Structure 1
């Protein structure tokens, strides 16, 4: 399909201004939260990405009215008439997103039952959905495995419980929050994820009437209430997209002003960006990122859960590290298969060696499990255009960066996957002077 292919003529610095809107890792979850309310909700700063369209479709299947609001990027969600959806209709969304599993708690509260089809998402490592179901069982849900998915029921009101996450998973933390707010009694979640998007979801739920406390030791306590109302909320900006454009500016020796980018959520990234040799300037409306000239610096980097260096920042930055002088070490501790995208970079001329050992300062949970989760990047290397097949969302954008930085023309296949998390990315590339075209 040629409409899923992009020709990228590399070697030109990208320069100009683009805007990022609400975070992909918050907006769809805030939309799901609207299911819990007894009144309409108003969500602002919503990006036009595929995950938003998927959740909008699922909400409408369940009787939620979703319409555009008064300002661009505003959605009004009215859950007054929540109803059961046709299994075949729900199943039509299977494979396009993992977000349907977050419908479980809200639907159990509203309807007493829920159906979850098989789930999709990026293939970057294990994201066991079984843990979601284990959590729901602790709340009192009954789960029946069927050929086409999982059928859940709540014979009685769900009850609060004590849960300790084996790893501070964002998805598991979201599942607990969306289920506990209307459960009877108190839920205590320890070793929870505390990403900015989690805090923003907590703010959404608190606006609806939830009682949630977040302690400094990664413990979240939720006191269940009998009823929630609607909310009016402006989603926090997408720090992951902002960092992707920042890395693109660095790799292509360009300059990009990211309107909407917020310093507070990007502190860790900005420190690393400066260590590599990138420059940035923060003002009231965004952040400008640029390559100041001269050689870039090799670094040692470990990904981690927030407030560490986010795994979604890693792949785009690795492309820039191929242009740094010396040996950079990258230790991926969040997703075991996230470094697989580097094989295509090597075919373009990069020198990246993968290792099963933990090359960072601390051993991680993948160290004894035979996964290639550490990388040594030797640079600088000259990248040449290639034939690239996008493997996942962030890896896909990283291939775009590599193609922009490379000499010659690259043929990038599977670009529709990038629409999952990057709003109007083709238009933004053109606005930044990138030489891209459909074949």
Structure 2
């Protein structure tokens, strides 16, 4: 219930066993995050689905069947679900308006290693020729581009010079050109890495979130934190989740000048932020507090860090590896303290 991606097990359970009971997904409270696209697509493949007391009850007594599915929105989760279901369903299933994220491509690669025939992953139309059985596989998990982007934005806010390895910089999509607009110097390194150097205040920019390869909603909060230090006025429009500005009030505690109008945040950059006690209201809001805290004057205490740690493994050691002054607390699960540069 606390991890949204756990809901993605619905499709493979249904395809393999013909029935499944899965709790409605949890995750961060960032506005409406409906799963109707997932359920409608599985229904089109022959599933019978009902929701009872917060639990999705699904069955396919006669098995799933091939289908032509058109998503009303390129949902990453729904694309994952149908990729998995269709790979274990004989026949040809087509997904139109599919998500294009690198994680979708990575899943398609794994399914092909298992024996499915998948064409078009990374485009808006994916064709899956399923099998009655799939086999084992060996694969490397791709690097987390959102985690990498968060550390990159920390560097930009703190005027640093860092190297990050273990991810593919080409997975950034539009974010790469946005970094250059901010004034960062970028160098792609051999062995899947990126060097980022920032010598002055960020340049103001105007961005809108959207499906990949457009600017990712998951990077919106840490970007907003970096823009609080920009040399001018910036705007960030959120088009994916309507409740994803919980970090604005926390950044204001640190001296940031922000205002909200509907789904658009306007940021008037300031020369310096001040350390404060703030709250990580969700994973990416927590990342925003880290970005701001690293650049702030004095000590920043980030509370409710259990959210942050769900998305950022070994965050203290990684921050220390980048040169940050991280102060350990008695209960590191609940709190993170940073001393800004």
Shift in Å at residue 131 of structure 1?
Answer: 2.7
Q: Does the alignment pair 1:232 with 2:123?
A: no
Separation (CA, whole Å) in 2 of partners of 1:162 and 1:247: 40
Q: 1:155 aligns with which of 61, 68, 81?
A: 61
Q: 1:432 aligns with which of 317, 322, 325?
A: 322
Q: Specify which structure has the bigger relative contact order, considering alpha-carbon pairs within 8 angstroms and separated by 6 or more residues.
A: 1
Partner of 1:98: 4
Structure 2 residue runs of 5 or longer lacking an equivalent are: 331-341
SS at match of 1:324: coil
Partner of 2:300: 410
Q: Does the alignment pair 1:291 with 2:202?
A: no
**Pairing of 1:26-175 with structure 2 (within 5 A):** 95-147=1-53, 149-175=55-81
Partner of 1:389: 279
Partner of 2:237: 331
Separation (CA, whole Å) in 1 of partners of 2:303 and 2:208: 29
Partner of 1:270: 176
Residues 295 and 170 of structure 1: is their aligned pair in 2 closer, same or farther, counting only changes over 3 Å? same
Shift in Å at residue 214 of structure 1?
Answer: 0.9
Q: Does the alignment pair 1:322 with 2:212?
A: no
Residues 148 and 329 of structure 1: is their aligned pair in 2 closer, same or farther, counting only changes over 3 Å? closer
Structure 1 residue runs of 5 or longer lacking an equivalent are: 1-94, 357-372
**Pairing of 1:344-359 with structure 2 (within 5 A):** 344-356=250-262
Residues 271 and 116 of structure 1: is their aligned pair in 2 closer, same or farther, counting only changes over 3 Å? same
Runs of 4+ in 1 over 3 A off after TM superposition: none
Q: What do the CA deviations read for 1:224-251 (whole angstroms, capped 9, x no partner)?
A: 2121111111122111111110100111
Q: What do the CA deviations read for 1:48-104 (whole angstroms, capped 9, x no partner)?
A: xxxxxxxxxxxxxxxxxxxxxxxxxxxxxxxxxxxxxxxxxxxxxxx2212232112
Q: Does the alignment pair 1:280 with 2:186?
A: yes
Separation (CA, whole Å) in 1 of partners of 2:45 and 2:96: 15
Equivalent residues of 1:96, 1:120 under 8 A apart: yes
Shift in Å at residue 194 of structure 1?
Answer: 0.7
Shift in Å at residue 432 of structure 1?
Answer: 2.6
The TM-score, its normalising length taken from structure 1, stands at 0.71
**Residue-pair matches, total:** 328
Shift in Å at residue 267 of structure 1?
Answer: 4.4
Q: 1:200 aligns with which of 96, 101, 106?
A: 106
Separation (CA, whole Å) in 2 of partners of 1:186 and 1:260: 35
Separation (CA, whole Å) in 2 of partners of 1:270 and 1:166: 28
Separation (CA, whole Å) in 2 of partners of 1:389 and 1:216: 36
The TM-score, its normalising length taken from structure 2, stands at 0.91
Shift in Å at residue 382 of structure 1?
Answer: 2.1
SS at match of 1:296: coil
Q: 2:248 aligns with which of 342, 348, 362?
A: 342
Shift in Å at residue 350 of structure 1?
Answer: 0.6
Separation (CA, whole Å) in 1 of partners of 2:123 and 2:197: 36
Equivalent residues of 1:246, 1:290 under 8 A apart: no
Q: 2:83 aligns with which of 165, 177, 192?
A: 177
Quick check: 99-108 or 245-254, which moved more? 99-108
Separation (CA, whole Å) in 2 of partners of 1:225 and 1:376: 51
Q: What do the CA deviations read for 1:148-206 (whole angstroms, capped 9, x no partner)?
A: 61222210110111211111110111111111112232211111101111111111111
Separation (CA, whole Å) in 1 of partners of 2:260 and 2:72: 27
Shift in Å at residue 216 of structure 1?
Answer: 7.9
Q: Does the alignment pair 1:189 with 2:95?
A: yes
Separation (CA, whole Å) in 1 of partners of 2:195 and 2:120: 32
Separation (CA, whole Å) in 2 of partners of 1:301 and 1:277: 15
Partner of 1:219: 125
Residues 177 and 245 of structure 1: is their aligned pair in 2 closer, same or farther, counting only changes over 3 Å? same
SS at match of 1:339: coil
Equivalent residues of 2:71, 2:98 under 8 A apart: yes
